[in-house]
């Protein structure tokens, strides 16, 4: 048994279930050279509140100028406008989901970062409460609580959002289907170059550089990062609901966390720090 699992028995239980899910996961046919002769693009899935703003600064340095397409609009007109730039781009970065490579008509190797699901949801709600231009700012100012947001189903970003993004799940209705988790796990195993952790950001950036052959070590810019949001107290009932409405995300995170620790240990990156 891995020492990480011995320290956290719940991880052992979750990983046993996740190994079974991986075995049942549908096998997606890998993209072959016959599909397109182009070199696969590196596609960074920026999941909200997972240090994406900080990682984006590293991506800009590694893929400067027109080498990276940044996608923060999903309108058909905007995506169509990117077509002339696709051939010369080496990377894609933005608030996109798995499957964007098919929309763009390219091969892709994916990268993303995960964050402890409970902390991510709290951080998302706090962000919505602070930013006047955010979608739910007015409702929160009028008294909308995080628990009400979770239970009402009005915001898919507080319901298994990491699994939604990595699986390519469409729709915004509440989801708690392990088939969606199985798709996410299958995608990670077959289509992802690396999945990092916000809580292990220095080691994650080191692993990212190792996997993608970065030319240099990058200093981690602290942009829009707050691992332990304190602006609003979260009561026990709300915490219980966060865990319940993010059951799939918690299972995904536990699986990736153990996988990540094994990877950095095998590469000697346990004490990695940005230089």
Question: Mapping DSSP to helix (H, G, I), strand (E, B) and coil, where does residue 178 land?
Answer: helix
At 50-91, the pLDDT tens digits run 998 889 999 999 999 999 999 998 888 998 899 999 999 999
DSSP track, 201-264: HHHHHHHHHHHHT-SS-------S--SS--SS---HHHHHHHHHHTHHHHHHHHHHHHHHHHHH
Tell which wins on pLDDT, 32 or 170: 170
Mean pLDDT for 121-131 is 97
Mean pLDDT for 241-264 is 97
At 179-212, the pLDDT tens digits run 999 999 999 999 999 999 999 999 999 999 999 9
CATH number of 3-25+39-266: 3.40.50.300
* Structural element, H or E, at residue 45: strand 41-45
pLDDT at 13: 46
Query: Is residue 109 scored above 70 in pLDDT?
Result: yes
For the entire predicted model, the pTM comes to 0.83
Query: Is residue 167 scored above 80 in pLDDT?
Result: yes
pLDDT at 33: 37
pLDDT at 96: 95
pLDDT at 215: 79
Of 12-16, 21-25, 162-166, 208-212, the range with the lowest mean pLDDT is 12-16
């Amino acid at each position: 048994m891995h020492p990480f699992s011995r320290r956290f028995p719940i991880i052992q239980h979750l990983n046993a279930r996740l190994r079974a899910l991986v075995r049942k996961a549908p096998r997606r046919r890998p993209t072959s050279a016959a599909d397109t002769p182009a070199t696969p693009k590196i596609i960074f899935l920026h999941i909200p509140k997972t240090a994406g703003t900080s990682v984006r600064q590293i991506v800009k340095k590694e893929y400067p100028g027109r080498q990276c397409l940044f996608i923060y609009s999903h309108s058909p007109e905007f995506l169509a406008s990117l077509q002339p730039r696709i051939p010369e781009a080496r990377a894609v970065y933005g608030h996109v989901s798995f499957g964007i490579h098919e929309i763009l008509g390219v091969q892709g190797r994916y990268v993303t970062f995960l964050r402890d699901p409970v902390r991510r949801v709290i951080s998302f709600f706090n962000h919505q409460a602070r930013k006047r231009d955010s979608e739910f700012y007015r409702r929160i100012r009028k008294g909308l609580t995080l628990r009400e947001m979770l239970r009402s189903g009005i915001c898919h970003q507080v319901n298994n959002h990491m699994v939604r993004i990595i699986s390519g799940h469409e729709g915004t209705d509440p989801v708690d289907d392990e088939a969606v988790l199985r798709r996410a796990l299958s995608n990670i195993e077959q289509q992802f170059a690396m999945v990092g952790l916000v809580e292990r950001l220095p080691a994650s950036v080191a692993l990212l550089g190792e996997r993608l052959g970065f030319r240099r070590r990058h200093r981690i810019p602290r942009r829009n990062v707050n691992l332990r949001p304190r602006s609003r107290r979260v009561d026990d009932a709300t915490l219980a609901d966060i865990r319940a409405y993010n059951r799939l995300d918690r299972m995904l995170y536990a699986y990736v966390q153990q996988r990540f620790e094994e990877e950095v240990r095998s590469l000697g990156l346990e004490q990695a720090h940005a230089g």
